[in-house]
Amino acid sequence: MTRPGQWRTFWRGKTCLQLVRGVMVYVWPLSIVGRLFYRLRWSKPCYQIINRQARRVFHSIPQPLHPRSVEAVQALNTDGIYRSSVDALVHDADLFHELSHDAQMLLAGQDIQRKIRQRYNPHDAKWYVVRAIGHRAKRPALPSSFVRFFLHPQVLSIASTYLGLQVRLNYTDVWHNIPVREDEPPISAEFWHRDHEDKRVIKLFVFLTDVDETMGPFTYVRRSQVGGEFGHVYPAIPPIGRYPEQDALSQLITGTPLPSVSCVGPAGSIILCDTSGLHRGGRSVTKPRIVLVGVYTSNAGMDAARYALPRSLPHEHLSPAAKFALYS
């Protein structure tokens, strides 16, 4: 739910479909019909119908899981979050450097650099975040390293095995977080919340810079994912997720065994988590924080982007799981 005082920024950076849904969900009396529609869409019978194909494909494709990948699925099932590194996850010592290089090439665009120099992005609710691709780009071609990583057999198998269906690549981007003053009030995803894109949402973050406590690290409440021990604490409301009362939740987290983990680490670290669980981002007050992001959902996921392949990678070279992930 959007917090008071954020309406001026809430609409920034939204696609036409997101704007229409915002009207349907927040503007009375349309909101009565809109919220009922999405609750029906995510009801068990409708959800199963929407994901029939995804379940059928999942059972027809081999799901190769290395020991480290089995560990990742187990951690997601137990805690809702898994932390590792690019090299450890996909066993490719060069891939992180290629990801970092391609991300820097995307960030080198003239408009992107102008926003970074101005230390302000007027097109995003989080004005201190500059996105290299953005939701509004029409079927952008992904760099080959992004394709190799986000469509890697191990990554897709982890996400699909956890969800119990073949996943779609819903979104990917590079986020450049501009350092801000410590006295700036928190906004948007800096508050504890549950994501809205699907019943369960797999997000994969790759640190392209070192991240310490002064750089606004991602924070997650373990076992708060759907089906987890604390999944009942302020559950998501489709299709808006949930921004619970922050003071009450903060007291709950500090006053009970609810365990939150702050994710810091060197460049090359990854976070793989189910953001149906309670989590929040932060803002850096020292140095830029650059993160590569990938989002995986079911067929019922909302706001799915479509991506093209680079010319160097023919479509027929993709695995069946990768083709499904790209909606192709």
Instruction: Give yes or no for residue 195 having a pLDDT over 90.
Output: yes
The pLDDT mean for the chain works out to: 89
Query: Of the ranges 12-21, 125-134, 189-198, 237-246, which one carries the lowest mean pLDDT score?
Result: 12-21
- In this prediction, residues 89-105 reach a mean pLDDT of 96
pLDDT at residue 1, as a whole number: 42
Q: In the chain, pLDDT over 70 holds for what percent of residues?
A: 94
pLDDT at residue 184, as a whole number: 83
Query: Of the ranges 30-34, 206-210, 243-247, 252-256, which one carries the lowest mean pLDDT score?
Result: 252-256
Instruction: Give yes or no for residue 38 having a pLDDT over 50.
Output: yes
Instruction: Give yes or no for residue 9 having a pLDDT over 70.
Output: no
User: Quick one: tokens of 264?
Assistant: 């810091």
pLDDT at residue 11, as a whole number: 54
Q: What domains are there in the chain, each with its CATH number? A: 7-325 (2.60.120.620)
pLDDT at residue 12, as a whole number: 59
Q: Tell which wins on pLDDT, 263 or 12.
A: 263
CA distance 311 to 326: 15
- In this prediction, residues 142-157 reach a mean pLDDT of 97
Q: pLDDT, tens digit, for every residue of 253-286?
A: 777 777 889 999 999 999 999 999 999 998 899 9
pLDDT at residue 14, as a whole number: 64
Instruction: Give yes or no for residue 61 having a pLDDT over 90.
Output: yes
